[in-house]
Amino acid sequence: MNHSWKVGFNFGVTSGIITTLGLMIGLDSATGSKLAVIGGIMTIAVADACSDALGIHVSEEGENKHTRVEVWQSTISTFLFKFVFASIFIIAFLFLEITTAVWVNIIVGFILLTVFSYKLAKNEKSEKPIGVVLEHLILTAIVLVASYFVGKLVGSFFN
């Protein structure tokens, strides 16, 4: 995989998983509404994927190290991977009750991040891949806990 596609993959996968799980948990804790959570996930899959792709585009342009084709490859791959990995989390809500779907998605998200982080660490020749994996999972857990409490706070003001 060339640099441009690697940029899009690495950013799209991590952002797609962490942002979507955070939003899902925040919306669930604020509203308890399956419709709100699915709508939020779909919004993340489209709007945030576009936003992140533009952010990567500008960042890659700003480095002045990449060709126009490489910049666009990074842009497109970021959108595609973010869109796909965010969209994955809709599936559980189509077949399960909201609480079960949230827990299934948390487990799926952590498994995906574990596999991705481990492969990333191995590719980068990290001496301690488990350290990289734990670092990424701990940071993700912090985001999810914060999202839960923000959702609860918002829910307490508007319910």
pLDDT of residue 110: 97
What is the per-residue pLDDT for 139?
96
How far is C-alpha 31 from the geometric centre of its chain's CA atoms? 21
pTM of the predicted protein model = 0.91
Spatial separation of the C-alpha atoms in residues 106 and 127, rounded to whole Å = 28
For residue 64 the two structure tokens come to 């002045």
pLDDT tens track, the chain, 159 positions: 688 888 888 888 999 999 999 999 999 999 999 999 999 999 999 999 999 999 999 998 888 888 889 889 999 999 999 999 999 999 999 999 999 999 999 999 999 999 999 998 888 877 788 999 999 999 999 999 999 999 999 999 987
